[in-house]
Amino acid sequence: MTIEDLKDRGLVIYECVSGSKAYGLDTPSSDTDIKGVFLLPKEDFYASKYVAQISNSTNDIVYYELGRYMELLSLNNPNILELLNTPESSILYKHPFLDEIRSELILSKRCKDTFGKFALSQIKKAKGLKKKIVNPVGKNRKSVLDFCYVNYGHGSILLSKYLEINNWKQENCGLIDIPHMNDLYGLFYNEEMGYNGVVKNESVSDIRLSSVPKSEKQVAFLYYNKNGFSKYCKEYKAYWDWVAKRNEARYENTIGHGKNYDSKNMMHTFRLLEMAIEIGKNKVINVRRPNREFLLKIKNGEYEYDDLLEMANKLQVEMEEAFEISDLPDMPDKELLNELTYSIRNQFYEDERLKQF
């Protein structure tokens, strides 16, 4: 089933503009995000052909089946609570049956975790981008040889430098294990002996050992920083996977403001923390934000990262205090919400005007 199917068959029962345009934080370059709720046809639902969610390829248009929508509401999912409380001006269509679903039946102290943890995840994302920008990983992938060191003088040098000094080739080197010394090897060199070399080629992830006659003289000790190479490989993959998948417009914005953190993620950190405080204090979900200018300043990178962290920490404390004294229930009443879901679905399936369901 596709979005086109939902539209053609009249299965959409709720649809609205979401994201920055619903928050009142949109700018001329903002995309239009659409979210909504659909109802599976009766025959599909009872035949166990359940489809929980349908979206387009970029996930900026997402529709949730009524059952999944109610399930996520019962979990106090921030995105779905925002969908429920979308401002009237951003609602494109809403079936009257859905008016029975009200925030006061759903909000609970669980929002402290769902909104708070979501906010903290945005800080981690912003911090992660900062690390990637400040510490980029070169495109030319390092090899095992870049993590091999040889004792030299009163210290150590890279194997490649050691070979250069002696005008040797790694292919003519032989390595043997040294008992009780992890990742430390005896290094031998002989152009005629037919050793295996330090590595087979530069794409491998480990060194090679050779059979060395006892008469051969060891020329040095070689240390292979195996853990360092393993860590580097993970960082290399993570960095270049990120480069391949990153949102170039957001990345250019980050580079442009020069603060080296994802300012859009930081903006959402503050939005989520402020919304959580409002839930704890006033039991409301205010999707449209009253402090647009402040939040857009964050998005534009007008604050230092450390200053934002300090402000976010204070908001987190305020949020925790608000929920501590709140009389919200600890959890939503799932039995009540299940009954409500059943009632609303039955209304749709039994309504004479909705026989297509």
Strand duo 61-65 + 33-38: pairing: parallel
The whole-angstrom separation of Cα 273 and Cα 289 is 12
User: Which H or E run includes 297?
Assistant: helix 292-299
User: How far apart are alpha carbons 220 and 162 in whole angstroms?
Assistant: 10
Angle between helices 111-134 and 263-282 (to 10 degrees): 170
15, 3 contact by CB (below 8 A)? no
Query: Can you say how many angstroms the Cα of residue 147 is from the centroid of all Cα atoms in its chain?
Result: 31
Region label for 352, one of left (φ > 0), alpha (ψ between -120 and 50) or beta (otherwise): alpha
**pLDDT at site 134:** 61
Extract the runs of DSSP E, i.e. beta strands, from the chain.
12-18, 33-38, 53-55, 61-65, 91-94, 148-152, 155-158, 173-177, 184-189, 220-224
Position 259 scores a pLDDT of 61
pLDDT at 218: 96
Question: What are the structure tokens assigned to 322, written together?
Answer: 């608000």
Q: How far apart are CA 344 and CA 80, in angstroms?
A: 18
pLDDT computed for residue 251 by the predictor:
56
Per-residue DSSP letters for 71-139? HHHHTT-HHHHHHHT--GGGEEEE-GGGGG--GGGT--TTHHHHHHHHHHHHHHHHHHHHHHHHSPPPS
Assign 62 to helix, strand or coil: strand
- Domains parsed from the chain with CATH numbers: 1-106+332-357 (3.30.460), 107-136+247-329 (no CATH), 144-230 (no CATH)
pLDDT of 124? 66
Tokens 């030299």, residue located: 152
Query: What is the distance between the alpha carbons of residues 332 and 237, in angstroms, rounded to a whole number?
Result: 42
What was the pLDDT predicted at 285? 96
Q: Which helix (H) or strand (E) holds 44?
A: helix 42-46
pTM over 0.75: no
Cα R_g (the chain), whole angstroms: 30
Spatial distance between the Cα atoms of 4 and 156, rounded to a whole number of angstroms: 66
* Cα–Cα distance measured from residue 356 to residue 44, given in angstroms and rounded to the nearest whole number: 12
The burial class, CB within 10 Å (0-12 / 13-18 / 19+), for 324 is: exposed
In a structure prediction context, what are the per-residue pLDDT tens digits for the chain, which is 357 residues long?
899 999 999 999 999 999 999 999 999 988 999 999 999 998 888 888 899 999 998 889 999 999 999 999 999 999 999 999 999 999 999 999 999 999 999 999 999 999 988 887 777 666 655 566 666 788 899 999 999 999 999 999 999 999 999 999 999 999 999 999 999 999 999 999 989 999 998 889 899 999 999 999 999 999 999 999 999 999 899 888 877 776 666 555 555 555 667 788 889 999 999 999 999 999 999 999 999 999 999 998 899 888 998 999 899 999 999 999 999 999 999 999 999 999 999 999 988 555 555
Mention every residue, 6+ apart, whose C-beta is less than 8 A from residue 325.
none
Per-residue pLDDT, 125: 64
Question: Residues 85-113, buried b or exposed e (16+ Cβ, 10 A)?
Answer: bbeeebeeebbebbeebeeeebbbbbbbe
Strands 148-152 and 220-224: antiparallel
Q: How many CB atoms lie within 10 A of CB 253?
A: 17
Residue 290 to residue 282: CA distance in whole angstroms: 15
